[in-house]
């Protein structure tokens, strides 16, 4: 009995040690990918470590009941959340785009861990509020880690769709036939096939020349015919695309694939939209995605027309600097330089929330090279759709840089339908994802692009630059609003579309009245555009890196109070003596 008790005690101690070793600590590590559960633990750890600066909230739940978490970072000593410009950052709207969540976690970790020692970080945390949702598609992230996948599968919101229109929903997923954790490719020997072994690397296949004997036929992703309809893998999850289901410029599926039956069909998408609308101070949005090395701005369709020139100036300033911060990335226009999308997230942000918005497409597969130089694509195509030169280089990278972790060698398999085949190809953690050793650079540089943008949010100061008595009890008060940030206090498109009221500048005097007031257009010659009705209230927009000036004539004595109120740029107040 004594031996059993000792053994039990040792077991408990060992289990305790294991649990402690697995506990996520702050600062976070970025030499591996966090699962959905670990992302939740990481957010909770940041909240526990920095309770005075952070708030963790449940935004909503997914179709499978998982919680979508948001972390708010705000310094209450410098003001309430809604009184500051809001910087919103999210990631992983598609289930396979897991590195996007890591960028969000890294940003949160850096803002908090470096606050007390980095003056640039301190300045943006004191002046802004950050809203961070690392994982939008929480079901997708869970299933990408826990299920076998290709690098590109498992993108959808988990809303069942009858892809093959047979009356059954999501009944024919791919299967990990060889149990290697990934869904790779199946090939079969076939003298009439259109492919042959690449003579430079037998793991690759190239097209046969006219008149040549074939060697292989590619059968597609590994799997079986689950529903007996003669097709393989034709009805997996979804497909409702989380980035095509937003309630601005939405289009049905015959126009936009993956749009769903109606806008905000996704329960998580709808919850995030409502959560963001409740935070009208959001002026900057970054939504991080999977691959391509791009910072994309709207518009998303050509027929929307170009943005207002004032907004383009801001986007150009942010986008061109982001290109410098993240070498190799390109600042592009969505519809013009990539493709048209309807019902996408950033269009919703631009036109409903009134925010400057970027999609950050992350990893560049071109960097997976053995000799360290970016490869150039050739005309010759491999079975992967890329150039054979590219795949040969990537295989050298796999062999010599990651020691074979990204590619599964072709191995024989006895398929229940096809018979003797081979299975092999790139693992799910390849192609669209950087190897974990490359993760640190990716997350830091992209978080730095967000930090640069946060330095450019509207930073409006309110100054009385003249308080002059011009007659008995009559005073001329001149007020200047100066914006040190690149972003205007509200988007030019928001002004044109009357999305919400413009900024308000007002003056009040308990022992007097405002005789006139208006925009000062020439201070030297005393020229102002006076407002006819209610001159004590002026509506305005403060452009980036610029100023606007107003002039008021006030009759009375005592004190006058001048207030500036902006939905995106916060509030300011000054008091002057009329004497």
Sorted by where each begins, the domain ranges of the chain are 2-144+240-363+436-454, 183-236+367-431, 460-578
Q: What pLDDT does 172 receive?
A: 75
pLDDT value for 137: 98
Three-class SS of residue 201? coil
Span 296-324, mean pLDDT? 97
The pLDDT value recorded for residue 249 is 96
Count CB neighbours of 258 within 10 A: 19
Q: What pLDDT, on the 0 to 100 scale, is given for residue 376?
A: 53
Burial 155-187 (b: 16+ CB within 10 A, else e): bbbbbebebeeeeeebbbbbbbbbebebbbbbb
Calculate the dihedral angle through the C-alpha atoms of 240, 242, 247, 251, rounding to the nearest 10 degrees.
-40
Q: What is the mean pLDDT of the chain?
A: 92
Cβ–Cβ under 8 Å, residues 89 and 107: yes
Give pLDDT, residue 6: 38
Is residue 83 predicted with pLDDT exceeding 50? yes
Yes or no: say if 275 and 303 are a contact pair by the CB < 8 Å rule: no
Q: Give phi and psi for 12, each to the nearest 5.
A: -60, -45
User: Is a pLDDT exceeding 80 seen at residue 111?
Assistant: yes
Q: What is the pLDDT of residue 213?
A: 94
Distance CA 507, CA 511 (A): 12
Instruction: Report which secondary-structure segment, H or E, holds 313.
Output: helix 309-325
- Mean pLDDT on 198-227: 93
Please report the pLDDT score of residue 269 as a whole number: 98
pLDDT value of position 21: 38
Percent share of the chain, pLDDT over 70:
93
- Cα dihedral 141, 146, 147, 148 sign: positive
CA–CA gap between residue 75 and residue 129 (Å, rounded): 8
> In the prediction, which pLDDT does 171 show?
75
- Locus of tokens 């020691």: 403
pLDDT at 203: 95
Exposure b/e, 374-410, CB count within 10 A at least 16 = b: ebeeeeeebbbebbbbbbbbbbebbeebbeeebbbeb
Which residues lie below 8 Å from residue 151, measured CB to CB, with a gap of 6+? Answer: 96, 426, 427, 428, 429, 430, 431, 432, 433
Average pLDDT, integer, range 463-476: 94
Percentage of the chain modeled with pLDDT above 90 = 85
Residue 382: the pLDDT is 54
Which ranges constitute the DSSP H helices of 60-147? 98-113, 119-127, 138-146
- State yes or no: pLDDT of 175 exceeds 90: yes
pLDDT, residue 387, reads 60
- Judge whether 483 and 545 are in contact, CB under 8 Å: yes
Residue 329 backbone dihedrals phi, psi, to 5 degrees = -80, 155
* Nearest residue to 431 (alpha-carbon basis) of 361, 376, 384, 377: 384
Structure confidence at residue 447 (pLDDT): 98
| Burial bucket for residue 210 (CB in 10 Å: 0-12, 13-18, 19+) | exposed
Q: Which residue has the tokens 């097709």?
A: 231
SS3 176: coil
Reported as a pLDDT band with limits 50, 70 and 90, residue 420 is very high
Choose which CATH entry (3.40.630.10, 3.30.70.330, 2.60.40.420, 3.40.50.700) describes domain 2-144+240-363+436-454: 3.40.630.10
CA 509, distance to chain mean position in Å, is 46
pTM summary value: 0.93
Q: Quick one: pLDDT at residue 374?
A: 61
In this prediction, residues 25-45 reach a mean pLDDT of 96
Q: Cis bond leading into 154, ω under 30°? A: no
Phi-psi region of 534 (alpha: psi -120 to 50; beta: other; left: phi over 0): left
**Hey, what CATH class is 460-578 in?**
mainly beta
pLDDT at 96 over 80: yes
Taking 70 as the threshold, does the pLDDT of residue 138 lie above it? yes
Please list the alpha-helical segments (H only) found in 342-478.
345-348, 388-400, 439-454
- pLDDT exceeds cutoff 80 at 531: yes
Work out the pLDDT band at 38, boundaries 50, 70, 90.
Answer: very high
pLDDT at 27 over 70: yes
Q: Which whole number is the average pLDDT over 315-326?
A: 98
Q: Is residue 385 pLDDT above 60, yes or no?
A: no
Nearest to 370 by CA among 390, 405, 396, 403: 396
Residue tagged 């920095």 (tokens): 50
């Amino acid at each position: 009995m004594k031996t059993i008790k000792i053994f039990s005690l040792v077991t408990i101690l060992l289990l305790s040690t294991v649990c402690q070793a697995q506990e996520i600590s702050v600062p976070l590590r970025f030499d591996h990918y966090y699962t959905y559960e670990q992302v939740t633990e990481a957010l909770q750890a940041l909240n526990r470590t920095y309770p005075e600066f952070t708030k963790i909230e449940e935004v909503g739940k997914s179709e499978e009941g998982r919680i979508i978490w948001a972390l708010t970072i705000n310094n209450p000593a410098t003001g309430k959340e809604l009184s500051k410009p809001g910087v919103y950052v999210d990631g992983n709207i598609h289930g396979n785009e897991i590195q996007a969540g890591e960028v969000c976690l890294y940003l949160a970790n850096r803002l908090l861990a470096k606050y007390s020692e980095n003056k640039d970080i301190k300045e943006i945390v004191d002046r802004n509020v950050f809203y961070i949702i690392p994982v939008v598609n929480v079901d997708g992230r869970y299933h990408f880690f826990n299920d076998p996948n290709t690098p590109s599968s498992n993108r959808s919101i988990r809303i069942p769709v009858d892809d093959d229109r047979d009356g059954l929903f999501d009944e024919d997923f791919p299967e990990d036939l060889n149990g290697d954790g990934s869904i790779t490719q199946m090939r079969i020997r076939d003298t009439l096939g259109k492919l042959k072994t690449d003579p430079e690397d037998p793991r690759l296949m190239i097209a046969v020349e006219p008149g040549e004997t074939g060697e292989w036929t590619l059968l597609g992703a590994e799997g079986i015919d689950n529903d007996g309809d003669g097709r393989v893998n034709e009805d997996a999850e979804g497909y409702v695309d989380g980035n095509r289901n937003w309630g601005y410029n939405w289009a049905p599926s015959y126009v936009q694939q993956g749009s769903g039956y109606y806008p905000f069909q996704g329960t998580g998408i709808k919850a995030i939209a409502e959560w963001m609308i409740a935070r009208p101070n959001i002026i900057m949005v970054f939504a991080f995605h999977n691959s391509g090395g791009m910072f994309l701005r709207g518009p998303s369709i050509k027929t929307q027309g170009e943005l207002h020139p004032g907004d383009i100036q801001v986007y150009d300033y942010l986008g061109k600097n982001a290109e410098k911060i993240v070498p190799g990335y390109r600042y592009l226009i969505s519809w013009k330089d990539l493709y048209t999308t309807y019902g996408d997230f950033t269009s919703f942000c631009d036109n409903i929330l009134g925010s400057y918005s970027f999609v950050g497409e992350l990893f560049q597969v071109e960097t997976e090279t053995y000799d360290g130089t970016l490869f150039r694509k050739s005309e010759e195509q491999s079975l992967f759709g890329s150039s054979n030169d590219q795949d040969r280089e990537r295989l050298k990278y796999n062999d010599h840089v990651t020691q074979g972790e990204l590619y599964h060698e072709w191995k024989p398999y006895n398929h229940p339908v096809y018979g003797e085949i081979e299975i092999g190809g790139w693992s799910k953690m390849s192609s669209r994802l950087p190897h974990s050793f490359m993760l640190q650079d990716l997350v830091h540089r992209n978080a730095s692009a967000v930090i640069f943008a946060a330095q450019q949010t509207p930073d409006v100061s309110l100054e009385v630059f003249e308080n002059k008595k011009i007659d008995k009890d009559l005073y001329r008060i001149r007020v200047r609003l100066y914006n040190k940030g690149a972003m205007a206090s509200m988007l030019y498109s928001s002004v044109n579309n009357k999305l919400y009221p413009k900024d308000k500048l007002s003056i009040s005097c308990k022992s007097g009245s405002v005789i006139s007031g208006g925009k000062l257009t020439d201070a030297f010659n005393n020229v102002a555009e006076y407002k006819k009705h209610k001159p004590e209230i002026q509506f305005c927009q403060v452009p980036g890196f610029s100023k606007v000036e107003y002039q008021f004539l006030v009759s009375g004595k005592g004190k006058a109070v001048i207030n500036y109120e902006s939905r995106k740029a916060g509030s300011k107040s000054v008091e002057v003596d009329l004497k």
